Amino acid sequence: MSRTEVPPGAAKAVRVAAGDLIRVIDVDGGQVGDVFAFRDSGGAELTEHHSAAHTRAGVDRLFPAVGEAFLTDLRRPILTLVEDTSPGEHDMLIPACDPARYKALGVPDHRSCAANLREALAAEGLSFTGPTPQPINVFMRIPVGEGGRLNWLTANSRPGDAVTLRAELDCVVVVSACPQDLVRISDAGLSPLAIETVHNGGTRS
């Protein structure tokens, strides 16, 4: 097993083989994480990626239940949710925060998950030139209310809460400890996340 620490407001990338387990841990509690997953074909340029829209269509719900898969933009399973020790509130409706979001909020130089994604990939010698994929927002509470209105609530995950995903393809997983501190989606400021990877002896193709 390997463990990667994700500092508050930053992101890290890990490469995993099909069959490996990836556990995203809320170290101190109350921290939203943006999770991105890309098919790893062995080259530097990534293309196929997790798609929130294709996943919703595939599972007929806003977020997969334990045992259900996240799909790519080619409608292939890339990750399966195998365990969730948190209260189970997550999101796949809200896009990653980006420079345009913070410019509109009056802080154009603020860190963002969109920029974090590119930085984390670059640190591994990888790149993705398409639009920022809509992430898997773990521990993020955006319930749909009356009339379809979205409610922005503070994360209620506790210290040590985690979601565990199984890689269905060789893939690159990026986790961003979301730097959004202007809209209070994370509790008590920003805090770290951690990625634990359990390597099950799969062979990368």
What phi, psi does 55 have (nearest 5°)? -65, -45
Q: Collapse the DSSP code of 55 into the 3-class scheme (helix H, G, I; strand E, B; otherwise coil) and give the result.
A: helix
Q: Which residues pair with 26 in a beta bridge?
A: 193
Rounded CA-CA distance 168/74 in Å is 14
| Dihedral, 16, 17, 20, 22 alpha carbons, nearest 10 | 20
> Which 8-state DSSP code applies to residue 153?
B
Structure tokens of 34?
Answer: 């943006």
Q: What is the amino acid identity at position 194?
A: A
pLDDT in tens, 28-82: 999 999 999 999 999 999 999 999 999 999 999 999 999 999 999 999 999 999 9
How many whole angstroms from its chain centre is CA 29?
16
**pTM, entire model:** 0.95
pLDDT, residue 16, reads 97
Nearest one of 167, 163, 164 to 19, comparing CA atoms: 167
pLDDT in tens, 145-182: 999 999 999 999 999 999 999 999 999 999 999 999 99
DSSP H or E run through 172: strand 171-177
pLDDT, residue 205, reads 42
pLDDT in tens, 88-147: 999 999 999 999 999 999 999 999 999 999 999 999 999 999 999 999 999 999 999 999
